[in-house]
Amino acid sequence: MLKGFRVEKKTKVSKKNGFVHGVGDYVVYPTHGVGKVLGIEKRQIVGQELQLFVISFDRDRMTLQVPVDKADTSGLRKLSTRKIMDNALTTLKGRARVKRTMWSRRAQEYEAKINSGDPISIAEVVRDLHRSAGQPDQSFSERQIYESARDRLASELAAVEKLDMDTATEKLEGLLEAA
């Protein structure tokens, strides 16, 4: 835990969405993926007392503090429902839709989809960039974006279905190969 700060072990209701973030809950932050709420702490910043969610992202070995009042506008959300995750997995089974635009423009669009935090958009990136055994190899940047999207989707799938990361990744890869 962070030294010098008092962390409260309670839950907080998000005003906009009405869902509860409690200690131990898994949440999704759009640009970092799935994290675990460690607690809520109060801090004095510029003479004003703020409540902050303390969120740990194990994969990145990072701790993030998000003001409770700004949680909704920052994009912090609860884990996807099983139905949304099923829709994302169905998206993986579809045909790849690769636009005939320059790679730099497509790469920007893919990064924006990944950073949106939306599992269906992330699944579209994984589907579009997946290469099976008989297809030509990916460039280095294509492979990086593909792996980033796959790992982000696998981490949310793992949290929703209570799987380990390797099993979730294998499930995604299996769906892609079967398509």
Mean pLDDT of 150-155: 94
**Cβ-proximal residues to 74 (8 Å cutoff; 6+ apart), any chain:** 29, 30, 66
For 1-40, how does the pLDDT look when each residue is reduced to its tens digit (9 = 90+)?
Answer: 444 444 444 444 444 444 456 788 899 998 888 999 999 8
Q: Which residue has the higher pLDDT, 10 or 115?
A: 115
Q: What is the CATH classification number for the domain harbouring 26?
A: 2.40.10.170
127 shares its domain with 40: no
88 shares its domain with 152: yes
What domain count does the chain have?
Answer: 2
Parent domain of 158: 82-178
Mean pLDDT of 97-122: 92
For residue 48, is it within any domain? Answer: yes
Amino acid in the structure at residue 63: T
